[in-house]
Structure 1
Amino acid sequence: MKIDYRWRAELADAQLVALTEAHGGNAEPGWWDRARRHSLGWVSAHDGDEFVGFANLAWDGADHAFLLDPKVHAGWQHRGIGTELVARARDAARDAGCEWLHVDFEPHLKPFYFDSCGFTSTDAGLIRLAAG
């Protein structure tokens, strides 16, 4: 398995709908067309021509980035793709000058975000991106 991770790759709304449905989520057609313009950027995962994972970064234009909508196709889960998507999103936020990365999640995802991705326990969940 050779996964190609891309920053701000061109993605169609239909691709995000299909990925959301493939990982068991409820897709809302038109969502990506609306959300994309508010993003700092996004990371996508591809195996050849197959789109298998995604994570979006919204931001406040300054110190705070927000990890939104990370998802991996059900057939590709538990291979480290989600962890790598989050790591690349974290690095991109840091490179953009953000100091904090926030994430909200459902309780069953706590081991993924805290143990695999390095978030710390707070009311919102965040990673300090800058020393000091």
Structure 2
Amino acid sequence: MEIDYRWRGDVSDDELVELTSSHGGNPESGWWERVRPHSLGWVTGRLGGALVGFANVAWDGGDHAFLLDPKVRPEQQRGGIGTELVRRAAEGAARAGCTWLHVDFEPHLRGFYFDACGFRPTDAGLIALR
């Protein structure tokens, strides 16, 4: 079966809670309703109607887009779904007029973002607010 990818595809909070739970994340009911109004767009990946992948794209209203919360169901990982979600997220941001797509990640994901997705290292700063 082929994955059905959609920019701004229909997705429910319950589906995102379940997807996040599937790989040991800490889902929060109501998260999607709270975050969605701040999103430039998002990419859904479905297999036989079931949500198997998701990536959110926030933005500053101008040149900068931010890849947030990409996730793929564990049994579907390492098959290119995450890479395709990121590719389509980048396309959606570019179509919206963004010049840059930023991403933050944990060190063990360097290979995925730098090698598979084409991001490049850059200097950045971070302040922990909590």
Fold-level similarity (TM above 0.5): yes
* Matched ranges for 1:28-107 at <5 A: 28-107=28-107
Structure 1 unaligned regions, length at least 5: 125-132
Contact 1:93–1:101 (Cα < 8 Å) also in 2: yes
Q: Is 1:112 matched with 2:126? A: no
Q: Distance in 2 between matches of 1:78 and 1:67?
A: 19
- Counterpart residue identity of residue 32, structure 2: W
Match of 1:16 in 2: 16
Contact 1:17–1:27 (Cα < 8 Å) also in 2: yes
Q: Report how far residue 48 of structure 1 moved.
A: 1.4
Q: Distance in 2 between matches of 1:12 and 1:76?
A: 20
Runs of 4+ aligned structure 1 residues displaced above 2 Å come to none
- Counterpart residue identity of residue 85, structure 1: L
Contact 1:83–1:117 (Cα < 8 Å) also in 2: yes
- Counterpart residue identity of residue 113, structure 2: Y
Task: Supply the RMSD in Å over aligned alpha carbons.
Answer: 0.8
- Counterpart residue identity of residue 41, structure 1: G
Q: Distance in 1 between matches of 2:32 and 2:25?
A: 14
Contact 1:24–1:74 (Cα < 8 Å) also in 2: no
TM-score computed with the length of structure 2 as normaliser: 0.93
Secondary structure of 2:53's match? strand
Q: Report how far residue 102 of structure 1 moved.
A: 0.3
Q: Report how far residue 75 of structure 1 moved.
A: 1.0
Contact 1:52–1:76 (Cα < 8 Å) also in 2: yes
- Counterpart residue identity of residue 109, structure 2: L
Secondary structure of 1:32's match? helix
Q: Report how far residue 123 of structure 1 moved.
A: 2.7
Q: Distance in 1 between matches of 2:24 and 2:113?
A: 19
- Counterpart residue identity of residue 109, structure 1: L
Q: Distance in 1 between matches of 2:118 and 2:23?
A: 23
Q: Report how far residue 10 of structure 1 moved.
A: 1.6
Secondary structure of 1:113's match? helix
